């Protein structure tokens, strides 16, 4: 499962001089790196075989894996996987003075980064698993096109993860997860700022605000617990009624009765191109990009950590000439998706399908997104529409793992960002560089420890 998902980032630090006379803990990563290595860095790889079917239906299998080797001077790291998390880690490691090599079977950004909703939300502090979720399970099983669906055939395999997912919705745990989300996402624009400035890509990120909408009166505000969590996190919001909605978003259907405006949130105009330009900067700064497929790695057995990841399959439809263009990204709270105005058109993206990594896409879900989008924007032009499915690597509580291996002090973890890879990537890269260099981390990393399960 881990290899198929491409989880996020792993950092292998092979200590300088870790050979004869060094400790077992220092030498152990070397033994692993001999099995799984990049040319010149001890990894066993094979050249990527590009599969057109996979590229068109399952681009989101990978985010990034990040492995490193401190072998000379300040050191060298190898990033396995060229999604936004891996490229951000590589960028920050370079800024800390390390040399980097990025390895992926596909070019930068062709996993989840290719098709996400593009949202960047410092105010994202509401966990997906909430106390009332348990009572919605029958609906998830009955409606294959709903905001969250579970494929019956995959249910036995997904059940352990789903039970932990529901357990994360206990009130006390919800408060803990919410605080961790706020800490990780609160500085996301600040963390991106030096990266996009250096890459000449500041125009790809906009702090425009975001809008949540619902056809139900006060539906956009969420329940009492959601409102309390936002208040505790200090998230700025403004409730908006029907008349104000028409002024702020004239193209929106008049059926929508309530809105919630987040002035500090924003989005990327093109999350795929964002990864590409950041990767180009990594190369200009001396980094290497290799097209390889990494194989032969056993996570739990070799690194001493058992991680339960699941693929939250998401879909999007892209309209190149929609005829209407929202002024800012909008989240539809009735159907669980986002409408994002991008430089190459209008994207409707979101929902969750639990069905495993290898199951073929159910593009009825993408078509359902399009129907909901047409209801939001009457007169929408759907000519030239394209569909996509990708897999979000997710842990049951929705938080990533950002940690040091409990078995090897020179191995670092950064993966499992779920729905929040784009907004959490830059701060994750900064944290990994701090861990690698021995600097105090910018935030408390206890909530993201690998051993929490």
Residue 10 confidence (pLDDT): 66
- pLDDT category, 345, cuts 50, 70, 90? very high
Residue 11 confidence (pLDDT): 61
Distance CA 37, CA 246 (A): 56
What is the CB-side half-sphere exposure of residue 133 using CA atoms within 13 A?
A: 21
CATH ID of 2-116+269-306+399-452, from 3.50.50, 1.10.10, 3.30.200, 3.40.50: 3.50.50
Mean pLDDT to the nearest integer, 71-81: 69
Flag whether the pTM goes above 0.85: yes
Q: Is the pLDDT of residue 372 over 70?
A: yes
Residue 15 confidence (pLDDT): 37
User: Cβ neighbours of residue 36 under 8 Å, at least 6 residues apart?
Assistant: 42, 43, 44, 67, 294, 295, 296, 297
Mean pLDDT to the nearest integer, 162-172: 95
Residue 363 confidence (pLDDT): 97
The DSSP bridge partners found for residue 332 are 213, 337
Locate the domains of the chain by residue range: 2-116+269-306+399-452
Q: Is the pLDDT of residue 453 over 50?
A: yes
Residue 74 confidence (pLDDT): 65
The 10s digit of each residue's pLDDT in 428-441 is 999 999 999 999 99
> Which helix (H) or strand (E) element contains residue 100?
strand 99-104
Distance CA 162, CA 128 (A): 12
How far are the Cα atoms of 31, 78, 99, 428 from residue 339, in angstroms, in the given order? 48, 35, 39, 26
Q: Which residue has the higher pLDDT, 81 or 159?
A: 159
Distance CA 140, CA 148 (A): 6
Q: Is the pLDDT of residue 34 over 90?
A: no
Tokens of 86: 């891996």
Q: Is the pLDDT of residue 72 over 90?
A: no
Q: Which residue has the higher pLDDT, 35 or 339?
A: 339
The 10s digit of each residue's pLDDT in 379-417 is 899 999 999 999 999 999 999 999 988 887 777 788 999
Mean pLDDT of the chain: 85
Residue 47 confidence (pLDDT): 36
Residue 138 confidence (pLDDT): 82
> Which stretches does DSSP call E strand in 274-344?
288-294, 310-319, 330-332, 337-342
- pLDDT category, 1, cuts 50, 70, 90? very low
Residue 412 confidence (pLDDT): 79
Q: How large a percentage of the chain has pLDDT more than 90?
A: 67
Lowest mean pLDDT segment, chosen from 28-42, 266-280, 407-421: 28-42
The 10s digit of each residue's pLDDT in 352-364 is 999 999 999 999 9
């Amino acid at each position: 499962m881990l290899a198929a998902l491409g989880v996020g980032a792993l950092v292998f630090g092979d200590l300088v001089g870790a050979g004869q006379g060094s400790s077992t803990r220092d030498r152990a990563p070397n033994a692993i790196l001999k099995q799984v290595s990049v040319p010149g860095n001890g990894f066993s790889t094979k050249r990527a075989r590009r599969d057109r079917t996979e590229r068109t239906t399952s681009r989101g299998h990978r985010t990034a894996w990040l492995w490193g080797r401190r072998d000379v001077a300040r050191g060298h790291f190898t990033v396995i996987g060229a999604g936004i998390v891996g490229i951000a880690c590589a960028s920050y490691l370079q800024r800390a003075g390390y040399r980097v090599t990025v390895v992926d079977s596909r070019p930068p950004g062709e996993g989840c980064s290719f098709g996400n909703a593009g949202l960047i939300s410092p105010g994202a502090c509401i966990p997906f698993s909430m106390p009332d979720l348990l009572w919605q399970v029958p609906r998830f099983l009955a409606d294959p096109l709903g905001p969250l669906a579970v494929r019956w055939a995959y249910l036995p395999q997904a059940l352990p993860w789903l039970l932990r997912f529901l357990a994360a919705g206990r009130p006390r745990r919800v408060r803990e997860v919410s605080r961790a989300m706020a800490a990780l996402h609160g500085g996301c624009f600040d963390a991106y700022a030096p990266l996009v400035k250096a890459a000449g890509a500041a125009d790809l990120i906009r702090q425009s605000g975001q809008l949540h909408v619902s056809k139900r009166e006060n539906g956009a505000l969420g329940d009492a617990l959601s409102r309390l969590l936002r208040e505790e996190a200090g998230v700025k919001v403004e409730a908006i009624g029907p008349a104000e909605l028409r002024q702020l978003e004239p193209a929106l259907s008049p059926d929508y009765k309530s809105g919630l405006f987040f002035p500090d949130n924003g989005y990327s105009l093109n999350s795929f191109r964002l990864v590409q330009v950041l990767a180009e900067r990594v190369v200009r700064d001396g980094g290497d990009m290799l097209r390889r497929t990494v194989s032969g790695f056993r996570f739990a057995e070799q690194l001493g950590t058992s991680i339960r990841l699941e693929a939250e399959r998401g879909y999007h439809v892209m309209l190149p000439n929609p005829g209407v263009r929202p002024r800012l990204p909008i989240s539809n709270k009735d159907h669980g998706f986002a409408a994002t105005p991008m430089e190459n058109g209008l994207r409707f993206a979101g929902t969750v399908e639990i069905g495993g990594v290898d199951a073929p896409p159910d593009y009825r879900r993408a078509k359902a997104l399009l129907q909901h989008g047409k209801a939001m924007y009457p007169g929408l032009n759907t000519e030239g529409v394209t569909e996509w499915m990708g897999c979000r690597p997710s842990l049951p509580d929705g938080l990533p793992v950002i940690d040091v291996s409990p078995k090897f002090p020179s191995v670092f973890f950064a993966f499992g960002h779920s729905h929040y890879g784009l907004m959490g990537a830059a701060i994750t890269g900064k944290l990994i560089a701090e861990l690698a260099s021995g600097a105090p981390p910018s935030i408390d990393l206890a909530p993201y420890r690998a051993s929490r399960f």
